Amino acid sequence: MTTWYTSVDSPFQSLLLTSDGAALTGLYMVAHEPGPAMGDDWVHDEAAPFAEARRQLAAYFAGALKEFDLPLAMKGASFHQRVWDELKRIPYGSIITYAELARRVGNPRASRAVGQANGRNPISIIVPCHRVIGATGRLIGYGGGLPQKQALLNLEASVLASPSAVQFQIMRRRYLRCDLRPGGPHNPSVRAARKPPSLINYPGQLPYSTFQTLT
């Protein structure tokens, strides 16, 4: 079966797009792991839907597009398909944990399996696996590389920067500020017994850049 492919420039690195001639089957970064292996049946071409994908990606990187509308053909096991469908439902600029993603696919104890399915997502960016983070807020498990994951989250956050995010940032910075005076409200011994405001449980799902500046 023929696989058509082309490359698209982005602010981060060149992107590899693949297609079956009618729908996108893959979007990979240069250092993507696991990435596709080119075979004799691969043909470099600007066939559909590459032109529209190129246009929408340019708009996304310019901050002018928040939802992609492209034909996709993703091959994978039924569980993988369920995970990928849930990834498409994560709003632009939002983040969730792997545990939350597992809950959304109906198997709260399957965080590890969900992480593996997330890592096998063949169409990055458009199917936003970069919006899933670890339980502690750490960036983990991105085939295109963690610097690219952070860059994508920061791009979306910069577009969606909101007053609520700024307010939360101020609140948490005040909370975490270390006041060393004995008995002071921010003394480490006092602060250790208190739980800081939770980003993940904060209503409204804050942009990642807010979280990054607070931790």
Give catalytic residue positions.
129
DSSP of the chain, one letter per residue? Answer: --EEEEEE--SSS-EEEEESSSSEEEEEETT-SS-----TTEEE---TTHHHHHHHHHHHHTT--SS----B-----HHHHHHHHHHHTSPTT--EEHHHHHHHTT-TT-HHHHHHHHHT-SBTTTS-GGGEE-TTS-----TT-HHHHHHHHHHHHHHH--HHHHHHHHHHHHHH----STT-TT-HHHHTTSPPPPSTTSTT---HHHHHHH-
